[in-house]
Amino acid sequence: MTEVSEILMSVLSTIRVPRPGDRVHKDECAFSFASPESEGGLYVCMNSFLGFGSKYVERHHAKTGQRAYFHITRTRKTQKEDENNSGSGDPPKKKPTRLAIGIEGGFDVEQEQYDEEVKVVLFPDRQEVTSEDLASMPDVVRERVSLSMAGLQAADSVSHALQVQQWDGEVRQESKYAAELKQLDNGVKIPPSGWKCEVCNLQENLWVNLTDGKVLCGRRYFDGSGGNNHALLYYQQTGYPLAVKLGTITPDGADVYSYDEDDMVLDSKLPEHLSHFGIDMMTMEKTERTMTELEIAVNQRVGEWEVIQESGTTLRPLWGPGLTGMKNLGNSCYLNSVMQVLFTIPDFQTKYVSNIDKVFNEAPSDPTQDFKTQVAKLGYGILSGEYSKPAPDPVDDPSTSTEPRGDQVGIAPRMFKALVGRGHPEFSTNRQQDAQEFLLHFINMVERNCRSGMNPSEAFRFLVEEKIVCQQSQKAKYTQRVDYIVQLPVPMDQATNMEELQEAERRREEVESSGAPPPAAPRAQIPFAACLAALSEPETLTDFWSSAVQAKTTATKTTRFASFPDHLVIQIKKFTFGLDWVPKKLDVSIDVPDTLDLSALRAMGQQPGEELLPEVAPPPLMTPDVEVKAPVLDDSTVSQLCEMGFPLEACRKAVYYTGNTGIDAAMNWVMGHMEDPDFSAPLVLPGSSSAPGTTPTESLPEEHLATIVSMGFSRDQATRALRATNNVLERAVDWIFSHLDDLESMDVSEGGRSEGGSEASREPPPGPRVRDGPGKYELFAFISHMGTSTMCGHYVCHIKKDQQWVIFNDQKVCASEKPPKDLGYLYFYRRVVE
């Protein structure tokens, strides 16, 4: 037996054959972005199936003693030039005809081809064993190693399941209404042409309701085009669910929309349903663009997209440390933009990158599932410059390439995205997301994982002071809350080009009756000062319960900064809801300044001679029978709020504290209290035995207590969390992580029980740690969104580096020529220290 055979025999028990369910990391290193295509290839541990680049495989061998690694190297195949190639070497791209990715007719996704070479490498001497070498080895060695190699080659990598290969936006489901749709025998017959809306006479974007044959116009689009919402309004009045877009009917089908299911659907009985109104599908011809064609046009149109991506100019590619592009993993541009900005902030660099060796040395046995390790890996990948290199040119002969295209090798944050999105209903998917929501989600994860030691999210944390003054008694109430983002309202009535906007609206109304397409709407010009004024101006509360006068009255609420953070994030509230609750995006240009002074918005606290409102809760709602202590809540209002996605207990409190005065008052209460730490906590009535600090009548589930205690919390802390969330384990876990500062202040003995005197004798818990300083800032980054809503479109970010604005557009990193600072969505400022 040869020396290599003897080594394999000695480690045979550590060589495993992958089984279904095993996580095989054969595309990406656990500590870096090395892959089989990288120099040196990728080494996959044949026991744990973790992957390591050549830089980190020795570390894993030394730490674990594992000797056998499956080594994969891939070499990119050169592309054969198509006979129709253009002079640049790039084949002409076909115009998409299908709302899909990676499917014939859809948006093209380049599928690169590679030659792959595999072998087993034995450490520490890096002895190599190929499949041919195994033929001459003992049967037991040959069989086990061959099975392991074949299993590793055949296994799907973890990243493969996460990476978008194909997506088809035209796959539609059968409507639940199609089979049993009731159609009225009202004698209505639809002519084959000459249609118009029965309300406004519009002659395009028309839909026929399949219940009664009513012909009405469709929804108005964000830019003012489309219809006037009459078909939608009719559904809201009648509940008739299905409609067909006239002009899309052909023998092959038509566009069918279900208002209740809020999606394009299939109707297997469509010929029958149309013939009820005299429409013969077999004789109809297409005269209108389908919804798919309209969506493709939106994804290709220029305007906002062109300006934000600076696509009208030739941009100079940049390479080097801090200038690393990030691959789009399928609608992951929101993540790319946010993380590029965060790793320009010193706190995140210090926490995760400056001591990266320490982070990696302390990593658990599976570093792919460790938050700190994966954030450090991403930060180093962005900042080091190791991956900031031009992408290889796809042509056969690199010498024929012209100027650099700007694309980089870059990094693909697959492990990071999988980890931070795990368990989240949105961020675990490949759908587009709101960058602001992801930023808060990531900050929340940082908070959870930094219970001890440095916490970089403190760079954003600040205190907000809310002052409410009862207009009848002139007494005040002060509250403070923690926040991370300033949400800046957009006062559309303050547009400086109001006359132009009004004239455009007048022209649009004029052409509606003629059926001609409406003219493009101008962009509203909003002064930044007007946005800031809208944030700081007092808000009138009409249904405020005053503890001073023991009744509802009018009050004013003002919001100020109780502290100024080191780094200030401002969100422009471009996304809103129309009167029909349809999301829309405001098309605005705001003159956001390079420098900002918010000193005038610092909170002053209680003023000399100012009286405070008594700390008395509002009285419970009573039935005429005063013996009934439970509140009588308007169930319909509670249900309406719940249908909007708000927690049940928050909805109950909203209805209770607004005295059953209707949906509008309750909705205002919800919007004004969403940031309250007890927003989702159960409604507790004055004098109730289930008030905080008392023992509720129901017992706490012992298994829930044990689960939380096993996570490292005391029994008292677990009890407090369960009581605050009505004994729902999942909510209790979320609650406990969002109240760490309060919980850590609890005086807990080794046995887990509180020591010392009563609650009243204890010092109040300290507030959250916040930094404070002057309220003067300078702009250093902004994230822009293109598209009609946060659920679609594209994000890019601009970051100021060495006095030069740089645009990060996924893998493209270039010097910015005209940074569109007026069209941003999230703005990042750093404190100016004088």
If one compares 435 and 632, the residue with the highest pLDDT of the two is 435
14: in domain: yes
Tokens coding 807: 């645009």
Main-chain phi, psi angles of 443, to 5 degrees? -60, -40
The annotation status of 508 as a binding-site residue, yes or no, is no
The annotation status of 200 as a binding-site residue, yes or no, is yes
Confidence bin at 122 (pLDDT 50/70/90): very high
25: in domain: yes
Question: Which of 209-223, 248-262, 732-746 is the most confident on average?
Answer: 248-262
Strands (E) across 204-332 are located at 206-209, 215-217, 242-245, 256-258, 263-265
Q: Which residues pair with 242 in a beta bridge?
A: 258
The annotation status of 222 as a binding-site residue, yes or no, is yes
Do residues 15 and 152 both lie within one domain? yes
Q: Name the DSSP class of 770.
A: -
Range of the domain at 706: 702-747
Residue with tokens 């072998």: 119
Do residues 285 and 251 both lie within one domain? yes
794 classed as catalytic: yes
Per-residue pLDDT at 297 exceeds 60: no
- Helix, strand, or coil (residue 255): coil
CATH number at residue 679: 1.10.8.10
Amino acid identity, residue 274? L
Per-residue pLDDT at 703 exceeds 80: no
The annotation status of 814 as a binding-site residue, yes or no, is no
Q: Which residues pair with 799 in a beta bridge?
A: 781, 806
What gap in Å lies between CA 812 and CA 309, rounded to an integer? 10
521: in domain: no
Do residues 738 and 779 both lie within one domain? no
Do residues 13 and 145 both lie within one domain? yes
Do residues 672 and 721 both lie within one domain? no
The annotation status of 220 as a binding-site residue, yes or no, is yes
Pairing of strands 263-265, 462-470: unpaired
**C-alpha distances out from residue 106 to 166, 630, 737, Å:** 10, 58, 43
Q: For position 88, what pLDDT does the model report? A: 38
The model's pLDDT over 356-406, given as tens digits with 9 standing for 90+, comes to 999 999 999 999 999 999 999 999 999 999 999 887 665 444 444 444 455
Choosing from 273, 276, 794, 798, the catalytic residue is: 794
If one compares 206 and 627, the residue with the highest pLDDT of the two is 206
Confidence bin at 312 (pLDDT 50/70/90): low
333 classed as catalytic: yes
Do residues 334 and 421 both lie within one domain? yes
What gap in Å lies between CA 387 and CA 389, rounded to an integer? 6
Please say whether the dihedral angle defined by the alpha carbons of residues 136, 139, 144 and 149, taken in this order, is positive or negative: positive
Choosing from 29, 45, 333, 470, the catalytic residue is: 333
What gap in Å lies between CA 535 and CA 304, rounded to an integer? 26
Q: For position 597, what pLDDT does the model report? A: 96
Pairing of strands 114-122, 127-129: antiparallel
Tokens coding 723: 């009581």
Tokens coding 211: 């219940």
Rg of the chain in Å (alpha carbons): 31
Number of domains in the chain: 5
What gap in Å lies between CA 69 and CA 59, rounded to an integer? 13
Q: pTM above 0.85?
A: no
Percent of the chain with pLDDT over 90: 42
Residue with tokens 């700081």: 536
142: in domain: yes
**C-alpha distances out from residue 139 to 5, 9, 376, 758, Å:** 11, 11, 44, 74
Do residues 259 and 369 both lie within one domain? no
Do residues 717 and 671 both lie within one domain? no
The annotation status of 450 as a binding-site residue, yes or no, is no
Query: Please, are residues 748 and 765 in contact by the beta-carbon 8 Å criterion?
Result: no
